[in-house]
Structure 1
Amino acid sequence: MPSLDDATRGRLLFGGDYNPEQWPEETWHEDVRLMQEAGVNSVTLGVFSWARIEPRPGARDFGWLDRLMDLMHVHGIGVVLATPTASPPPWMGSRHPETLPRDENGQTVWWGSRQQFCASSPTYRTYAAAITEDLAQRYGAHPALLMWHINNEYCTHCWCDETARHFRRWLAARHGTIEALNEAWGTAFWSQRYDTWEEIIPPRRAQYMRNPAQTLDFKRFTSDALMECYTAERDIVTRHTPLVPVTTNFMPFWTGQDAWVWAGEEDVVSVDVYPDPRDPLGGQYNAMIGDMTRSQAGGGPWMVMEQAAGPVNWRGVNHPKPRGLNRLLSLQSVAHGADAICYFQWRQSRQGSEKFHSGMVSHAGERGRTFQEVKRIGAELAALSGEVAGTRQATADIAVLHDWASWWADQQDGRLSTEVDYPEIVRAWHRALWEAHLATAFAHPEHDLTGYRMVVVPHLYLLTDTAVDNLVRYVRGGGTLVSGFLTGVADEDDRVREGGMDARLRALFGIGTVHEWWPLDRGETITCDGFEGTLWSEELSADGGEVVAAYRGGELEGLPAVLRSGRAWYLSTLPAPPALRELLARVAGEAGVRPVLEGLPEGVEAVRRGALLFVLNHRRGRVTVTVPGAFREVLTGAAVEGPLVLERYGVAVLREAVR
């Protein structure tokens, strides 16, 4: 099975999406000159080129792509070649309206943008397979080819009749019988019992709230239907080029794909990540996505497929990146295991919906600050390649559990609080660990957890029996578990467990039979021993658990806010950030987990990858860090011992000095 190493060939990849069909051909040679000046060694071609390659059904125009592939190879630039199937040409929707998706109201989603395809459409799949076959046959042996990139940011949803037929087949395979489906979906409620498979439709617009178990299964189905499109194209290119790795790019915390499942079907796990440059915790967000993507890659190297060299174009106000921030976030991703740092896109578009989305070459051209910073990053990545490419980030002792099915179930209509936002809760817990300078990985609740000293569950409303047994077994085996509120409430069919929490978990945490939920309003807090709780609270009784902190005042006076039973901790509220950081750092210390570096100032991050220590300053001002021992700074060659001065957004890459 090929890997990212087969594409990188012992170096860090640096480049981005290249859309030369938007420009006159004479521009291509200017692009190559600038790419070489910037140290670009990889470009992604063809992502949105379907209409150029196939201007009418069955026609093929490969001449321009032939010239580009040859041009890249002559100048030593590898190609990540995309199948262009994310955006079918207008002729497909015009001639084959059945390929167009329909929304939950039954309205057609027309062409004129991108990703206007129904993943269940046989016609779409036939055309997608045909163009993929021809691309693989034509370019599979081309020396410029580094990697295949299938489609782009799979994110379509469809509720059409073809999708309904596909959904029924999927349901029959999952549940077996209509009786089993009725049991799983709880259709006794509101007279929803189904007599035949043909009666089942996707969860379209309804008079009132829709069946949550049906909606949950439809989200599972949608992820699987999109993955069928991906694997069909992947299998075609793999048949032609079995030694060339294949990827498709995830969007972080995108609700439409179960990325744990998808990652198992990829040779290279890649992600598009766009921290808000105005977010003071943008570095923590970037670290979290790096930790998550690295974990999906099995702990090995992964790929930043897209990031922004400057502003994006889809926020309300699109701020540029301050001087130095692009470099900081790029090197941070390398520290967290990335072996490829790429951008959307190479040259900023002059027309179209993304003309104000930045490029490595901005509208200001090669003299602009953006390109000058890109050149520095390219040079530094080249200098680091021999030191870091192919190595792994140091093993994390802490796992953060995350599950898409639990997220899907948790966000249904009819829940107790719309203020409970799953991604924000996960981010709050990761932030607490990141600010405590504790290295983290991510894991699925059914994964083998025995290699971690500490496992945290920010919030998993839905847990399968397998997952519950896994958590219990982990603690019984000597692991430390810390769980947030509203965890283990429902089973895999979104059926509330008796007592409001799985009995095995209640026993594990020392929770008694009294268990009621008390959500908090936006901005409301609740006083606990030593801290303020936010977002949520619960009426709990203790049964063998030690009350570490109790609620003070109000209806929950004296009841457990934080409960501990041996190595298992339960938080029935979300402590304010400093308190959550302090608590998790305390538990980590008891579990034998130590910070990467002791005594780091706030806003400074330390990450070990291979033999290197990355020290990253996420602050807007100069900071001094004390490093233990003697080091050599890899990028400058300077000796470092004791105090290390980092300018704003500064990065030091340290190798221990040989005495």
Structure 2
Amino acid sequence: MPYTPPQGLTRLAFGGDYNPEQWPEEVWQEDVRLMREAGVTMVSAGIFSWALLEPEPGRHDFGWLDRLLDLLHAHGIRVDLGTPTVAPPAWFYRAHPEALPVTREGVRLSFGSRGAICPNSAAYRAAAASITEQLARRYAGHPALALWHVHNEYGVPVSACYCDSCAEHFRRWLRARYGTPDALNEAWGTAFWGQRYGGFDQIDPPRATPTVCNPAQRLDYARFADATLRENFTAERDILHRLSPGIPVTTNFMTALSQCSSIDYWAWGREVDLVSNDHYLITDGRRTHVNLAMAADLTRSVAGGSPWLLLEHSTSGVSWQPRNPAKAPGEMARNSLAHIARGSDGAMFFQWRQSRRGAEKFHSAMLPQAGTDSRVWREVVRLGADLESIAGVAGGTTAADAAVVWDWQSWWAQSLEWRPSEDHDARERADTFYEALYDRHLTVDFAPPEADLSAYPLVVVPALYLTEAAAGRRIRRYVEEGGTLLVSYFSGIVDEHDAVHPGPYPGALRDVLGLTVEEFSPLGEGERVGIRRAGATEGDGADGRGGHDGGSGAGHPDRLTADVWTEFVVPRGAETVWTYADGPAAGRPAVTRHRLGRGTAWYVSTRLGAAGLGELLREVCADAGIPARDELPRDVEVVRRAGGTGEYLFVINHTGAEAKVPLPGRATGTELLSGEPVSGRLAVAGGGVAVVRLQE
């Protein structure tokens, strides 16, 4: 759907989830006073309020929500109003225990958390439609209403239910997809292990089995579960469109690859009026700002390049990881402005006031337990002022240098059991390739396999195990017409039914890559191999340290170290650029380049880390005509976004030292956070951010 911004919001969105039902009403007056002090422009409300709005079946109490919306409107604060369908009341489950979801192992989950829903329960669907209709009829014309927020984080924590109701819906879904049992048997390969079905009524969900379940059945059930959740969303959306025309409808995604895998966001992005996303730093030792940038780029891509909205992130620590450190001073602003640089039209948080009770009472908030005499509060107020100073960026688009092909359904397929190595992880490959691109200072769009890639000088395919034949043809055409392609191992292998493509690996991609793979040879746990440039002698650049080793000539090594995976590659037109120095494929090609038509296709048959991929990207980017940006310091983001009122340069310094960044071309400008004019080179303090409105 085309991008529809929040109604009546004239500035960047700034605020958070507001749950005033947790507090006496006299606190509300203090809340709105402090919201104005902080520069809050919008809050999300009502997301978990079903039990208050409908305390008994069919009896509604909207008085408190009326007073809340009137109060917010009186203080100039817009409202993202939730349908509370992620958390049905206790009375609903007492009347309809069958609406609780069942796990693959046959365990029915209990009430007492959130998201405990069978999405195919007729009772749930009816109750959700009823409360949504009541809200729409009452608040469609309220002057505070800016945006409808359906449900909350679909797929989290329950992505699929395996109850008898879901079984019936699955059979209907399969009948619509395949038409006949014979067609299904062919697609699923049920001749293997004697699994042939004589009718759709014989098919159950892929519940727990004695050994590995049919992978094609598992893959189709993942598609079915995603489609079922989307049906729930569109049912509520259509009610809101009908009764509240002109107000956009969204639901908060979680596109970060490490956080949510069960939703095909390419499909979901087409169903919302405004793509919104929740993002939380994963503090497991990785460079968290790289994952943040990746999530923002992916969300913008799901939005088709249009602006989107960061609907949740945290002011400081969260509460649900094994260890939850506080954010460092200035980190909240860097996080917020990095999302805006990459396309968000605001920075919203969970939540406004930190809870005293419940599961998330230790999750940080805009107004912390420490109150207004705290570092977090002072940074919140400063951020509100900063967002006001860069309001002109709203509605702008972010320019990308390269594309990464990513597909959730391929990830689902690759993640099933009995693959060549459990150490190979599609998400890890996507993360690592993105990190290497990030360290080359390239802004990235993500693209589904069916996308037109012709606008990008460089396309990277880090993990496309499932590649339909048509997608293989499109990728080949991209290269023939002048594009540069970089593909990682175990891509192009199977079709949409998880059936291996006829002929040698890599199936749908072997022609564009100009090679075949005789056999996969995954490595043992902790085992490493070296690869060296074709033509380099045995000792060149080898110091055995792993990652990427020292080498000859201007810091470009002649030896790299890899792990997890090797292959027996046979060039069929491709040239060998790097060879295996040791290991099971010693002497064979490790990295190849195939010149095809006007373009070039590269293939990496082993797992390199981000540093090794960075060395390889020097050569790949040269093929693509992308200039090196070696003058930019590591961990300093430089992103351009064209807004409705001009061109903006965001420089985000994640290091502790001052960074000096050249302005593009002969540009000058004004640094908006300080109001200072700038030209030539821009100095950004360690941990700081600059936003320059450029004047060419």
- The normalised TM-score by structure 1 is 0.97
* Aligned partner of residue 398 in structure 2, secondary structure: coil
Please give the secondary structure, in 2, of the residue aligned with 1:292: helix
Alpha-carbon displacement from aligned partner over 1:197-230 (angstroms, at most 9, x marks no partner): 1111111111111111100000000000000000
Q: Does 1:615 align with 2:651?
A: yes
Give matches, 1:85-96, under 5 Å: 85-96=85-96
Q: 2:395 aligns with which of 385, 390, 397?
A: 390
Counterpart residue identity of residue 249, structure 1: N
Among 538, 546, 552, the residue aligned to 2:581? 552
Give, in whole Å, the separation in 2 of the partners of 1:389 and 1:493.
Answer: 42
Where does residue 470 of structure 1 map in the other structure? 474
User: Are positions 1:401 and 2:408 aligned together?
Assistant: no
Q: Give 1:540's aligned residue.
A: 569
Task: Tell me the equivalent position of 1:182.
Answer: 185
Deviations 1:112-137 (A, max 9, x none): 00011100111100000000000000
Cross-structure match for 2:522: 519
Partner of 2:556: none
Distance 1:324 1:6 in 2: 28
SS at match of 1:289: helix
Three-state SS of the structure 2 residue aligned to 1:600 is: coil
Q: TM-score, normalised by structure 2?
A: 0.92
Deviations 1:497-518 (A, max 9, x none): 2334254521221114x52111
Give the whole-Å Cα distance in 2 for the aligned partners of 1:53 and 1:526. Answer: 62
Contact conserved, 1:574 with 1:580, CA < 8 A, in 2? no
- Which one of 265, 268, 276 corresponds to residue 262 of structure 1? 268
Please report how far the alpha carbon of residue 26 of structure 1 lies from its aligned counterpart in structure 2 after TM superposition. Answer: 0.6
Q: Does 1:651 align with 2:680?
A: no
- SS of the residue aligned with 2:584? helix
- Whether the aligned pair in 2 keeps the contact of 1:438 and 1:594 (CA below 8 Å) is no
TM-align CA RMSD: 1.5
Shift of 1:448: 1.1
Which has the higher mean CA deviation after the structures are superposed, 349-358 or 626-635?
A: 626-635
Contact 2:469–2:508 (CA under 8 A) maintained in structure 1: no
- The answer to whether residue 219 in structure 2 is matched with residue 216 in structure 1 is yes
Q: Is this contact kept in 1: 2:5–2:248, CA < 8 A?
A: no
Q: Does the residue aligned with 1:481 lie in a helix, a strand or coil?
A: strand
Amino acid across the alignment from 1:648: G
Deviations 1:37-90 (A, max 9, x none): 110010001110011111111110100000001011000000000100001111
Deviation of residue 2 (structure 1)? 6.9
SS at match of 2:211: coil
> Is the counterpart of residue 74 in structure 1 residue 74 in structure 2?
yes
Partner of 1:632: 670
- Give the match for residue 38 of structure 2: 38
1:315-354 equivalence runs, <5 A: 315-354=321-360
SS of match in other structure, 2:220: helix
The partner residue of 2:605 within 564, 572, 575 is: 572
Distance 1:260 1:228 in 2: 15
Amino acid at match of 2:633: P
In the alignment, the residues of structure 2 paired with residue 539 and residue 279 of structure 1 have an alpha-carbon distance, to the nearest angstrom, of 34
Cα distance in 1, alignment partners of residues 185 and 470 from structure 2? 22
Structure 1, 5-14 or 22-31: larger mean CA deviation: 5-14
Q: Residue type of the partner of 1:646?
A: V
Note closer, same or farther for the CA distance 1:454–1:657 as it changes in structure 2 (3 Å cut): closer
Contact 2:493 2:508 in 1 (8 A): no
- In the alignment, which residue of structure 1 is the partner of 2:625? 592
Q: What is the DSSP-based 3-state SS (H/G/I as helix, E as strand, rest coil) of the residue aligned with 1:286?
A: helix
Q: Tell me how far 1:242 sits from its aligned partner.
A: 2.0
State the match for 2:317 in structure 1: 311
Shift of 1:657: 4.5
Residue 540 (structure 2) aligns with: none
Unpaired runs of at least 5, structure 2: 533-558
- What are the Cα deviations for residues 577-614 of structure 1, in whole angstroms up to 9, with x where unaligned? 2220121232123212236x651011111000010111
Identical-residue share of aligned pairs (%): 47
SS in 1 for 2:130: helix
Cα pair 1:302 1:339 within 8 Å, conserved: yes
Query: Where in structure 2 are the equivalents of 1:232-251 lying within 5 Å?
Result: 232-251=235-254
Mapped to 1, the partners of 2:660 and 2:349 lie a distance apart of 31
- 2:421 aligned residue: 417
Q: 1:447 aligns with which of 446, 451, 454?
A: 451
Change (3 A) 1:439 1:8: farther
Q: Which amino acid aligns with 1:393?
A: T
Given that residues 15 and 342 in structure 1 are in contact (C-alpha distance below 8 angstroms), is that contact kept between their aligned partners in structure 2?
A: yes
Contact kept, 8 Å, 1:531 with 1:576, in 2: the verdict is no
Deviations for 1:514-563, whole angstroms, at most 9, x for unmatched residues?
52111123432211012112221111111111001010123212111101
What does residue 538 of structure 2 align with?
none
Contact 1:391 1:609 in 2 (8 A): yes
Contact 2:40 2:77 in 1 (8 A): yes
1:284/1:434 contact within 8 Å kept: yes
Once residues 351 and 363 of structure 2 are traced to their aligned partners in structure 1, the CA distance between those partners, rounded to angstroms, is: 8
CA distance in 1, matches of 2:191, 2:124: 38
Q: Are the aligned partners of 1:499 and 1:515 in contact in 2 as well (CA < 8 Å)?
A: no
Give the AA of the match of 1:43.
V
Q: Pick from 422, 425, 428: which aligns with 2:432? A: 428
Task: State the distance in 2 between where 1:8 and 1:471 align.
Answer: 42
Q: 1:500 to 1:59 in 2, by over 3 A?
A: farther
Q: Distance in 2 between matches of 1:33 and 1:612?
A: 32
1:299 is aligned to 305
Deviation of the 1:467 alpha carbon:
1.1
8 Å CA contact retained: 1:216, 1:409: yes
Q: Write out per-residue CA displacement over residues 357-412 of structure 1, whole angstroms, 9 at most, x where no aligned residue.
A: 11111111111111111111111001111x20111112x13110110110000000
SS of match in other structure, 1:548: strand
Query: Given that residues 613 and 654 in structure 1 are in contact (C-alpha distance below 8 angstroms), is that contact kept between their aligned partners in structure 2?
Result: yes
| Stretch moving more, 629-638 or 619-628 | 619-628
Give the Cα separation in 1 of the matches to 2:133 and 2:679. Answer: 57
- CA–CA distance in structure 2, aligned partners of residues 293 and 458 of structure 1: 18
Distance in structure 2 (CA, Å) of the matches to 1:392 and 1:509: 33
Question: Is the partner of 2:453 in helix, strand or coil?
Answer: coil
Asked if 1 retains the 8 angstrom alpha-carbon contact of 2:5 and 2:274, the reply is no
Are 1:72 and 1:144, in contact at CA under 8 Å, matched by a contact in 2? Answer: yes
- Deviations along 1:460-491, one digit per CA (max 9) or x if unpaired, are 11111221111112112221111000001111
Deviation at 1:622, TM superposition (A): 3.3
Structure 1, 469-478 or 626-635: larger mean CA deviation: 626-635
Query: Could you tell which deviates more after superposition, 283-292 or 624-633?
Result: 624-633
What is the alpha-carbon distance in structure 2 between the residues aligned to residue 582 and residue 281 of structure 1? 19
Distance in 2 of aligned mates of 1:279 and 1:326: 18
| Structure 1 residue 646 displacement after superposition | 2.3
Superposition deviation, residue 5 in structure 1: 2.9
The residue aligned with 2:365 is: 359
Say whether the 8 Å CA contact 1:419–1:521 is kept in structure 2.
Answer: no
Contact 1:17 1:45 in 2 (8 A): yes
Structure 1 unaligned spans of 5+:
none
Q: 1-side partners of 2:375 and 2:452: how far apart? A: 47
Query: Quick check: 1:618–1:649 contact (8 Å CA) kept in 2?
Result: yes
Once residues 500 and 593 of structure 1 are traced to their aligned partners in structure 2, the CA distance between those partners, rounded to angstroms, is 33
Does residue 373 in structure 1 map to residue 376 in structure 2?
Answer: no
Q: Contact 1:534 / 1:574 at 8 angstroms: preserved in 2?
A: yes
Residues 1:102 and 2:88 are matched in the alignment: no
Find the residue that maps to 1:80 and give its secondary structure: strand
**Structure-1 separation of matches of 2:284 and 2:423:** 23
**Residues in 2 aligned to 1:104 and 1:503: alpha-carbon distance in whole angstroms:** 32
Alpha-carbon distance between aligned partners in 1 of 2:202 and 2:572, rounded to the nearest angstrom: 47
Q: Which moved more, 1:278-287 or 1:530-539?
A: 278-287
Letter in 2 for 1:302: W
Q: Are residues 264 and 574 of structure 1, via their aligned partners in 2, closer, same or farther at CA, if it must alter by over 3 Å?
A: same
